[in-house]
Amino acid sequence: MPFPVHRMRRLRGSEALRSLVRETRLHPGQFILPLFVCPGEGVRREIGAMPGNHQLSVDELVKECAEAKRLGIGGVILFGLPESKDEMASGAYDDNGIVQRAIRAIRRETPGLLIATDVCNCEYTSHGHCGFVKDGDVDNDITLGWLARTAVSHARAGADMVAPSDMMDGRVGAIRKALDAGGYAGTPILAYAAKFASVFYGPFREAAESAPQFGDRRSYQMDPANGREAMREIELDLEEGADIVMVKPAMPYLDLIRQARDRFDAPIAAYQVSGEYSMIHAAARNGWIDLERAMMESLTSIVRAGAGIVLTYFAKPAARLLG
C-alpha cells in the first residue's frame, strides 16, 4: 500500500530539496554554439528567424568567440558563407576559404576555445545540394573526395574537430583516412550520424543561404520515420572511426538519443536545430510561452534523454543563466 507511506510530493517541498534530488544538471561546458561566418568587415547581420544569431564577418566572429569562451561554453561550430558558389563547392576546401580564415583568426585571438567545423558542401554549391550533382542526384563517391579535402583543410587551418553533416555513405571513413594521411591522426570526428531530412532546418537555410535550388535532401538525409535505421547509421559511423556521434534534430528525436545512449558507449551529441530555436522564440514573442523557461526545459530534456553534448543556438543565454 504505497500511499500514505509514500508521498512523492515530500521531495518537492522546497527549492533546496528539489535541487538535492535533481537528476539532470546542465553545464555551459556541454554546449556548442553554432556560428555563421561571412565575408567583409564589421558585418553583424541578424538572422530574421533566429533572434540573437547573426551572420558575422571574421572580426565580429572573433568577438563572439571571446564571449563564448568567457561564458565557459564548450566550443563553437563554424558554418561558412563563401564569397561565391560553384558546381564544385570549391570554396569549401580552399585553404583560403571563409571558414579556414575564420579558424586561423579564432586560434590567434581566442586560444583555448574549442573550434569545431561543419564539413558539408551545401553552403558552397551553386545549387545548394550537399555534393556533386549528377543526373539530378548527389553522387556519393565523388562527394567523398570533396569532404575529405575540406576536413584536412580545416585541420590544417587549426580546427580542433571536424563534423561532417552531409550524410554521404562512407564519409567518416574517407575523412578519417585523409586526416591520418595528412598528419592529423589526432583530430577527432563528430559525425552527424543520424541526421534526418527535417523541416526544422528551415531557418538555418536562411542563415547559411544553403537551401537546395531544386528537389530536396531526401535521397541522402534520413526518413523521419526510421529509428532502427538511425541505430545502423550510428553503428556504421562508429565503425568508420567517428569519435562522437550525433542525433539531429534533437527534441523530435529524443527517443533516438535515448536509444543511442543505451546502445553505444561513445559520447552522444544532439543538435537542437534552428527550427526548434525559432519556434520557442516565436511563441515567446507572442507572449504564449516564457522564453527562459522554455530554453532551459528544452535543453534539460535533451540532456535527460542521453545527450552529453548539445549543439544549440541558446548556448550563450543558457550559459549566462547557469553562470
Catalytic residue among 63, 85, 134, 248: 248
Please, what is the minimum distance in Å from the beta carbon of residue 203 to ligand PBG? 7
Catalytic residue among 63, 134, 177, 195: 195
The CA-based dihedral angle spanning residues 32, 35, 41, 45, taken in that order and rounded to the nearest 10 degrees: -130
Distance CA 31, CA 197 (A): 23
**Hey, what's the cell of 315?**
548556448
Side chain identity at residue 45, one-letter code: R
Please, what is the minimum distance in Å from the beta carbon of residue 179 to ligand PBG? 20
Q: Is 316 a catalytic residue?
A: no
Please, what is the minimum distance in Å from the beta carbon of residue 228 to ligand PBG? 22
Q: What is the DSSP letter of 299?
A: H
> 129-132 — which CB contacts under 8 Å span 24+ positions?
129/212, 129/215, 129/217, 130/165, 130/166, 130/167, 130/168, 130/217, 130/220, 131/89, 131/166, 131/168, 131/220, 132/87, 132/88, 132/89
Name the residue number minimizing CB distance to ligand PBG.
204
Please, what is the minimum distance in Å from the beta carbon of residue 243 to ligand PBG? 18
Q: Which residue, 16 or 318, is less far from ligand PBG as judged by CB?
A: 318
Q: Which residue, 69 or 217, is less far from ligand PBG as judged by CB?
A: 217
Q: Using alpha carbons only, what angle is made at residue 41 by residues 36 and 43, rounded to the nearest 5 degrees?
A: 50
Binding site for ligand PBG (CB under 6 A): 118, 120, 122, 130, 165, 201, 204-205, 217, 273-274
Q: Which residue, 12 or 46, is less far from ligand PBG as judged by CB?
A: 46
Q: Which residue, 251 or 273, is less far from ligand PBG as judged by CB?
A: 273
Residues with catalytic function: 195, 248
